[in-house]
Amino acid sequence: MTVLSINLNKVALLRNSRGGALPDLQEAARVALAAGAGGITLHPRPDQRHARPRDVAELKAWLPVELNVEGNPWAGPTPGGYPGFLALVEAARPAQCTLVPDADSQLTSDHGFDFERDAARLRPVVAQLKAWGCRVSLFCDVDAPQLERAAELGADRIEIYTGPYAHAAGDAAAALAACVRTAERAQRAGLGVNAGHDLDQLNLGPFLRGVPKVLEVSIGHALISEALYDGLATTVQRYLAVIASAHQD
């Protein structure tokens, strides 16, 4: 069964906008887990507008499921207290690190790695993360050239960037077919497949029915948006029902 990992960045963004402790990210995680979520994702950025390093440490201290920490592996320390991605991971030792090639000020992740250009820089980072006990997933565009090199670099998985699929509108079949090709190439290379970005209750089911053996979906923006109307626990349970239905089919 595909694991649903809840990205809580938007909860942290709302908290940070007021400067206090509410909404409580730790309590949001507890509600999501009680509703059946199988993992929690955080993407602490250098500008700290979303999840912050202390959020990672606090979650890791009690979380009974996998913590997935996303970030640019080459992001360094900033004056506001961000210690740099590798230092943050060394301290927290999350179950999984999802590496993304984001600029420090980027609004959201919107492209995967260039596996030819980035291979030499990624190799030692992947090795270090695995030495710290982290599973490594690399953010990947659909039909990415040389995506098989992710396996050569020592990565365990790729995460398919599903933004183009989610926004394909009338051409969703072609976008889904590209995701299928990408997943199959990765799996032939010995890589596991995760997916994320702009997946929601409407497009997740068709995605999972079409794309084989997806191990994990990381969903934040749409899920938290829907939870504003329907409640977090109810929304998590609805996503889990979509996943279960897709696997039964």
Determine whether 70 is an active site residue: yes
Could you say which of 50, 159, 197, 226 is catalytic? 197
Residue given tokens 């190439």 in the structure block: 185
Can you tell me the distance from the alpha carbon of 144 to that of 150, in angstroms, rounded to the nearest whole number?
A: 11
Residues constituting the chain? 249
> 10 Å Cβ neighbour count for 103?
10
154: CB partners within 8 A, 6+ apart? 123, 126, 127, 130, 136
Among the listed residues 112, 97, 120, 110, the one whose alpha carbon sits nearest the alpha carbon of residue 144: 112
Q: How many CA atoms lie within 13 A of 127 on its CB side?
A: 8
Q: 70, 159, 216, 226: which is the annotated catalytic residue?
A: 70
Amino acid at 205: G
Contact 176, 156 (CB under 8 A): no
Task: Round to whole Å and give the CA distance between 185 and 146.
Answer: 10
Comparing CA positions, the residue from 94, 113, 117 lying closest to residue 43 is 94
**50 among known catalytic residues:** no
Cis peptide before 23 (omega within 30 of 0): yes
Residue 27 known to be catalytic: no
Q: Annotated catalytic sites, by residue?
A: 43, 70, 197
